[in-house]
Structure 1
Amino acid sequence: MNVLLINSHQHYPFSEGKLNNSLVELAKEVLESKGYQLQFTRMDNTYDVAEELEKHTWADVIIVQAPVNWMGMPWTFKKYMDDVYTAGMGGELCNGDGRSRDDAARQYGSGGTLQGKRYMLSLTFNAPQAAFDDPDQYLFQGKGVDDLFFPMHMNFRFFGMEPIDTFVCYDVMKNPSIEQDFWRFQQHLNQHL
């Protein structure tokens, strides 16, 4: 299996990226032990758009490792998406939006060319797990992590990809349980890959 690991951490003075880097390294260790072929992209490095498109078409699975910043992906990953995913609309990732003037039955978003490929979001949150999926909680009002990341899921669906269950490390700044998170991540990878 070919796996593309994207580390979307962006360095901040209060967050050097050690946890996200460690999760990428753990994924590398687990997946290489299975004999999988890996490629890597980091948001703190420069990237070549054509090369990134080749990585996406090469990969059977894409794992996006990301800290959650202001309820979404870091801005550098959003820029990466604008650069790479827009360039891939000519057939590498999708054939436009899927609709056709000749065939009105084709639905918006159905033009993906990466059918049979999968993706996984692996996220690190300062928010505690209890903040999600509970209508009595103030911020998320009963919504879950995948509700929050619905736009990201739709981006990959736009390419025809299928999701692997999202992995989350919660409360990583105020109440971390890093060793337990590493163990859970390893189990998650073994179960789904």
Structure 2
Amino acid sequence: MKNVLIINGHQYYPFSEGKLNQSFVEKLSTQLGDANLSVKTTETQNEYNVDEEIEKFLWADIVFLQTPLNWMGITWSFKKYIDDVFTAGMMGKLSQGDGRTAEAPKKNYGSGGLLKGKYMISVTANAPKEAFNNPEESFFAGKSEDDLLLPMHLNFKWFGLEPLKTFFAYDVMKNPDTENDFARFEKHINEELLQKI
């Protein structure tokens, strides 16, 4: 049986209560349970025990990250979670430092990860799909969704995890298409996660 850690990185605001991100987490938990995968969850805006979170990463074959796009990145509570958990796990549990050695201090930076699993990022964003991968749109200037998420990808690469294809729900505040997003999400999880593990 495969083990999946689901991290909900939503941060509550009066105008953004987190219902959509929680719905994605609940739908994923059901879909994974139906596929006989074991699931543990964490909400980064709630209290957590750092040692227990490190053990969850060691337990997991797949780490799933559900997050809104906040100011072109993750929420502050999700960033704090990463700072707390990854820093505590950096020296011996989740990684062996940054991968460099005294014999080769200029080589292999970022190669000290000890984890062997995979990760997937799922994002809810107010930006429309058309804002990405389009050099005629000046804001992202042709950059992709994964270009925007590069720091998160590098965080998980640092610990040895391999990426699965990213999911995006676009335009979720101004022009939501929630039922279609849920249908795309279920298909994405089936094709890009369940069929690849």
Match of 2:128 in 1: 128
Match of 1:19 in 2: 20
Shift of 1:102: 2.8
**RMSD between aligned alpha carbons?**
1.0
Structure 1 unaligned regions, length at least 5: none
Q: What TM-score do the two structures reach when normalised by structure 1?
A: 0.97
Shift of 1:120: 0.5
Q: Supply the distance in 2 between the matched residues of 1:147 and 1:118 (Cα, whole angstroms).
A: 19
Shift of 1:106: 4.6
Shift of 1:104: 4.8
Match of 2:108 in 1: 107
1:183 aligns with 2:146: no
Q: Supply the distance in 1 between the matched residues of 2:22 and 2:154 (Cα, whole angstroms).
A: 26
Partner letter of residue 10 of structure 1? Q
Match of 1:43 in 2: 44
Shift of 1:44: 2.4
Match of 1:74 in 2: 75
Answer whether contact 2:65 2:121 (CA < 8 A) is retained: yes
Match of 1:157 in 2: 157
Partner letter of residue 120 of structure 1? M
Structure 2 unaligned regions, length at least 5: none
Partner letter of residue 21 of structure 1? Q
1:137 aligns with 2:137: yes
Q: Secondary structure at the match of 2:13?
A: coil
Identity, in percent, stands at: 54
Q: Secondary structure at the match of 2:17?
A: coil
Q: Secondary structure at the match of 2:52?
A: helix
Q: Supply the distance in 1 between the matched residues of 2:121 and 2:159 (Cα, whole angstroms).
A: 15
Partner letter of residue 45 of structure 1? N
Shift of 1:16: 0.5
Match of 1:61 in 2: 62
